[in-house]
Structure 1
């Protein structure tokens, strides 16, 4: 995956994609979900996240208390020690990673805590959720992080 080419492409299409996704909010939510989910399945049959891992390299998931406890346990750490070593509180008062790339991402783009990863990582990039019309701002932000989301949006522009 050529991440520099992706970043350039995502930036070039940024204002067009933002406008398009804002317009989708006015469409029938069930139709939007159906088209998003179908396109999500198609794109993820073609794209292998292990060739990219840009999400893990550039952003942090939110860590909820259950995530902290689960990941800490998998690392044989106390939750408080895990928080102290890996997390900080952001401007929204959420726990997020202190640094990127994610400290649990290995050299081959595998997650060292995959089975116990945070909920936000499990659900990323959120393009197969119900009520997609409610998360168009998040979807837009993810076009700048995830090549698969950018591809999904490009295909949706041809459908809508």
Structure 2
């Protein structure tokens, strides 16, 4: 497994994001029956190539949504109340109705090690990120469209899907390289 070169990744992501988003949009509009199985097969390959701890770009540039359950669990872990936790670290996004980090990078990211200081009690959104193996992958394609420019694992998954999927005569087929 190679460490992620964040500068090179950002350059690649910027170069391919429109193509990858278009590709995911096409899948979203007409998902192949075998999409979940393909994602399940590609997932271990992706994780052999991507080392999250060498990257942490998600924690540096994105904010998870904090559910009420997350807030209570993390506040308990930090020996504070949910209200004090929200006042200190979070802001409410009125548009989406979500609690988000006030600042970036995430206040719980140790920038020297790229490790999470509250890993054991991290938000569910963080625990599931980057959502590569969701049961109904078609329901998460909109998330992958966003994450492809932030997450090297998502980028590699979409890249591998593009290498293996072909759309012709109104249907998807697998053309393994």
| TM-score, with structure 2 as normaliser | 0.87
Structure 2 distance, partners of 1:104, 1:27, is: 37
Structure 2 distance, partners of 1:74, 1:48, is: 27
Partner of 1:136: 141
| More RCO (CA 8 Å, sep 6+) | 1
Structure 1 gaps of 5+ residues are none
- What's the CA shift string for 1:8-37, capped at 9, x where partnerless? 1111111110111011121334x1111112
- What's the CA shift string for 1:29-66, capped at 9, x where partnerless? 4x111111221221112222100000000000000000
| TM-score, with structure 1 as normaliser | 0.95
Moved over 2 A (4+): none
Structure 2 gaps of 5+ residues are 166-177
Which has more helix, going by share of residues?
A: 1
The CA RMSD measured in Å over matched residues stands at 1.0
Structure 1 distance, partners of 2:35, 2:102, is: 35
Partner of 1:120: 125
Shift of 1:7: 1.1
Task: Give the secondary structure class of the aligned counterpart of 2:157.
Answer: helix
How many residue pairs get aligned? The number is 159
| Structure with bigger gyration radius | 2
Paired residues for 1:1-160 under 5 Å: 1-25=4-28, 26-29=30-33, 31-90=34-93, 91-106=95-110, 107-160=112-165
Shift of 1:113: 0.4
